[in-house]
């Protein structure tokens, strides 16, 4: 034992997207980990995913000891995620042992121990050479048996036995009122404790995960949002990203010459994040569409997040200014994802985005407008989310464009999203409508552009059915 410790803590990959980044490599290898949380927070699924991914990705067979659901139920529940437990069982990679405790047919008299449980577990582990074990939810024993002091000492023995057996184990526990688990399992399983939480704020539900403790290892200490969807659980560890992304000196076009010319290098660097701010009707979306068009013309995959217009509406409206996005949607170069910002929590939007980025591998991402997300969360949340989002995009060297709606005559800096994004964005373009002599004039100026010189004039521009034309400095 002492020699193992000198080697440093070995870890076992959890197989859960993002979790290994927070834990610095996974669950403690050969030790038990406690996952606790209230009903319906995803404990069982996390256990199953740990086993299934262990079997598929790391060739580590696993044993699932269920105190609640039968094999049939489990299989049905996870089938929608593409996990075929029966197949894995027949391949001798997985064993499910359902422990049924029928209180009504059990009588207790005198001393006993849980050796039967140990023998079953041992038999299951040895039969397939299991490296991973899940016990879900062992606290059910307390519901079925009366002698709590025997159970406690036996559980302590069980966790020591699991350690001695050298299997990486997950033990799930129901959240207690004053402690992490009802029976205080955290006292016995002290190597790694993960708390899952399912919370509803302003009618929007978010799942969160926190590592309460991880003995002998550094770990992320924040609450991390996680998502359960058709591929299982994914955690978003975004705040753990560091500022060490690569940069590119390749220059790309904004989509029309007039705008490119305002920058010394005639465009923007690949991987730049661009912010366009302006009040309503200042053609932010038109500028975004140019940006998308330019990306599509480079034959690069483009992802357009629209929080205000449906794909059809966007395409139709852009036709009126001479931007034809239709062929690119057909050729699958352009993907427009429309959803109402209030449909789900901020984190969910971010996760959807994250997944789409993984799936479509876009080189350009447009979010129009990012300010509508503010309605969903409070300011610190929004800012944290935007930082995460930018990080994801930067790390992948994706060109990003965000638009943000600001209020007329208001100061840009007082605006929440502008405040959050402006320091993160590399390039900031401001558009406005100014009334002069009974005429509304469209103006555009560049507030900043990291890494290259830019025009410091305010430019007047017009929009007609052929698009945007920048005329002269106003």
Binding residues (CB under 8 A) for other proteins: these are 97, 99-102, 105-117, 119-120, 122-123, 141, 145
Go through the chain and tell me how many residues it has.
Answer: 474
Smallest distance from other proteins to CB 102, Å: 8
Smallest distance from other proteins to CB 99, Å: 6
Q: Which two tokens stand for residue 94?
A: 């997985």
- What distance in Å separates the CA atoms of residue 48 and residue 426, rounded to the nearest whole number? 43
| Rg, the chain, Cα only | 28
Query: Which of 96, 276 has the CB closer to other proteins?
Result: 96
Residue 173 in 3-state DSSP? Answer: strand
Smallest distance from other proteins to CB 141, Å: 8
Query: Which of 105, 230 has the CB closer to other proteins?
Result: 105
Contact 64, 121 (CB under 8 A): no
Query: Which of 141, 420 has the CB closer to other proteins?
Result: 141
Query: Which of 97, 308 has the CB closer to other proteins?
Result: 97
Other C-beta atoms lying within 10 Å of the C-beta of residue 129: 10
Query: Which of 123, 471 has the CB closer to other proteins?
Result: 123
Smallest distance from other proteins to CB 192, Å: 26
Smallest distance from other proteins to CB 91, Å: 19
Q: Which of 298, 295, 287, 285 is CA-nearest to residue 262? A: 287
Query: Which of 150, 360 has the CB closer to other proteins?
Result: 150
- What distance in Å separates the CA atoms of residue 154 and residue 473, rounded to the nearest whole number? 81
Directed axis angle between helix 43-58 and helix 71-79, to 10°? 80
Residue 444 in 3-state DSSP? Answer: strand
- State the residue for tokens 């352009």: 334
Smallest distance from other proteins to CB 346, Å: 45
- State the residue for tokens 């591998």: 361
Smallest distance from other proteins to CB 135, Å: 12
The kind and range of the H/E element at 252 are strand 251-252
- Residue 26 CA, distance from chain mean position: 17
Smallest distance from other proteins to CB 116, Å: 4
Residue spans of alpha helices (H) in 179-243: none
Smallest distance from other proteins to CB 45, Å: 24
- What distance in Å separates the CA atoms of residue 57 and residue 17, rounded to the nearest whole number? 12
Query: Which of 141, 365 has the CB closer to other proteins?
Result: 141
Query: Which of 102, 244 has the CB closer to other proteins?
Result: 102
Query: Which of 138, 357 has the CB closer to other proteins?
Result: 138
Smallest distance from other proteins to CB 193, Å: 25
Smallest distance from other proteins to CB 140, Å: 11
The DSSP secondary structure of 293-305, one letter per residue, reads HHHHHTT--EEEE
Sign, CA dihedral 342-347-348-350, equals positive
DSSP bridge partners of 206 = 199
Query: Which of 97, 381 has the CB closer to other proteins?
Result: 97
The DSSP secondary structure of 150-207, one letter per residue, reads HHHHHHHHHHHHHHHHT-EEEEEEEPPSSSSSTT-GGGT--SEEEEEEEEEETTEEEE
The kind and range of the H/E element at 159 are helix 148-165
Q: Which of 15, 14, 40 is CA-nearest to residue 198? A: 40
Query: Which of 146, 202 has the CB closer to other proteins?
Result: 146
Query: Which of 73, 113 has the CB closer to other proteins?
Result: 113
Smallest distance from other proteins to CB 162, Å: 16
The kind and range of the H/E element at 238 are none
Q: How far is CA 9 from CA 26, 261, 272, 382, 425, in A?
A: 11, 56, 39, 36, 40
Other C-beta atoms lying within 10 Å of the C-beta of residue 453: 10
Q: Which two tokens stand for residue 283?
A: 């053609």
């Amino acid at each position: 034992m002492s020699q193992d410790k000198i080697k440093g803590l070995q870890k076992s990959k959890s197989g859960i997207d993002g979790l290994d980044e927070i834990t610095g490599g996974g669950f403690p290898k050969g030790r038990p980990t406690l996952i606790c949380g209230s009903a319906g927070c995803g404990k069982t699924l996390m256990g199953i995913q740990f086993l299934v991914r262990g079997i598929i990705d790391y060739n580590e067979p696993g044993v699932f000891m269920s105190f609640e659901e039968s094999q049939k139920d489990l299989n049905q529940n996870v089938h929608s995620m593409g996990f075929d437990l029966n197949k894995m069982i027949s391949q001798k990679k997985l064993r499910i042992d359902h422990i049924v405790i029928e209180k009504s047919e059990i009588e207790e008299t005198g001393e006993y121990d849980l050796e039967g449980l140990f023998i079953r577990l041992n038999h299951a582990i040895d039969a397939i050479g299991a490296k991973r074990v899940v016990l879900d939810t062992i606290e059910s024993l307390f519901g079925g048996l009366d002698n709590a002091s025997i159970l406690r000492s036996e559980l302590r023995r069980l966790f020591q036995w699991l350690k001695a057996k050298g299997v990486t184990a997950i033990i799930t526990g129901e959240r207690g009122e004053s402690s992490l688990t009802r029976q205080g399992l955290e006292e016995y399983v002290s190597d790694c404790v993960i708390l899952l939480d399912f919370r509803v704020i302003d009618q929007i539900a978010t799942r969160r995960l926190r590592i309460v403790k991880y003995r002998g290892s550094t770990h992320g200490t924040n609450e991390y949002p996680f998502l359960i969807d058709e591929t299982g659980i994914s955690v978003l560890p975004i705040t753990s990203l560091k500022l060490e992304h690569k940069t590119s000196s390749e220059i790309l076009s904004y989509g029309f010459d007039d705008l490119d010319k305002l920058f010394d290098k005639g465009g923007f660097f690949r991987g730049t994040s661009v912010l366009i701010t302006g009040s309503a009707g200042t053609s932010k979306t038109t500028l975004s569409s140019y940006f998308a068009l330019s990306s599509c013309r480079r034959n690069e995959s483009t992802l357009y997040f629209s929080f205000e217009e449906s794909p059809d509406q966007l395409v139709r409206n852009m036709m009126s200014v001479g931007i034809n996005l239709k062929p690119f949607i057909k050729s699958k170069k352009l993907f427009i994802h429309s959803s109402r910002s209030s449909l789900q929590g901020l984190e969910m939007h971010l996760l959807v985005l994250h997944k789409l980025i993984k799936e479509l591998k876009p080189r350009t991402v447009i979010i129009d407008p990012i300010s509508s997300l503010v309605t969903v969360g409070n300011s610190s949340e929004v800012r944290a989310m935007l930082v995460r989002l930018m990080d994801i995009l930067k790390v992948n060297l994706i060109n990003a464009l965000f638009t943000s709606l600001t209020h007329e005559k208001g100061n840009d800096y007082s605006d929440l999203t502008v405040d959050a994004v402006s320091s993160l964005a590399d390039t900031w373009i401001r558009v406005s409508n100014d009334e002069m002599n009974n005429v509304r004039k469209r103006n555009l100026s560049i507030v900043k552009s990291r890494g290259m010189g830019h025009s410091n004039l305010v430019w007047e521009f017009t929009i007609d059915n052929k698009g945007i034309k920048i005329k002269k400095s106003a």
